[in-house]
């Protein structure tokens, strides 16, 4: 399994970025996929998740601003980030896991330790 993120960068407050995660070698039909982020000196925080059953979950801090989506034909997971704030500055990681426990609790409240597959991360910096 390989998860490769792209699309990070620097943007001014109020701007937008679109992150992508190219997924390869993932043969599971049932899964939880999503995005975590980690700012310097802070713990990893769940941002947005999508379950193979179609359900979607967002952290309260990004609701209404971020949109997670997937393109199964292209094996790509995306995160559209609008109205970015300085507090969104972090390394963003794509994650996935097929286990029943993770799928049952697929969402921003699920701790990072539960996810078995991680990308290398892409940096997002929001600054004026």
The answer to whether 89 and 127 are in contact (CB under 8 A) is yes
Does the pLDDT at position 21 exceed 90? yes
How much of the chain exceeds pLDDT 90, in percent? 85
> In the prediction, which pLDDT does 27 show?
84
Does the pLDDT at position 43 exceed 90? yes
> In the prediction, which pLDDT does 99 show?
92
The mean pLDDT value for 88-103 works out to: 95
What CA–CA distance (Å, rounded) separates 35 from 8? Answer: 13
Other Cβ atoms within 10 Å of 124 Cβ, number: 22
* Exposure b/e, 47-63, CB count within 10 A at least 16 = b: bbbbbbeeeebbbeebe
DSSP string, 26-57: ---SS-EEEEEEE-TTS--EEEEEEETTS-EE
Does the pLDDT at position 28 exceed 90? no
pLDDT digits (tens, 9 = 90+) for 49-89: 999 999 999 999 999 999 999 998 879 999 999 999 999 99
Sign of CA dihedral 18, 45, 62, 104: positive
Residue with tokens 């925080």: 45
């Amino acid at each position: 399994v390989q998860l490769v993120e792209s699309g990070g960068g620097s943007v001014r407050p109020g701007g937008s970025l679109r992150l992508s995660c190219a997924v390869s070698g993932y043969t599971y039909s049932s899964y939880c996929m999503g995005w975590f982020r980690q700012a310097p000196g802070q713990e990893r925080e769940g941002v947005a998740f999508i379950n193979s059953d179609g359900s979607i979950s967002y952290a309260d801090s990004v609701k209404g601003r971020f949109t997670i989506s997937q393109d199964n034909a292209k094996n790509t997971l995306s995160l559209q980030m609008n109205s970015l704030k300085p507090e969104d500055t972090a390394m963003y990681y794509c994650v996935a896991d097929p286990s029943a426990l993770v799928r049952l609790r697929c969402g921003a409240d699920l701790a990072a330790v539960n996810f078995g597959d991680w990308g290398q991360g892409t940096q997002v910096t929001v600054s004026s």
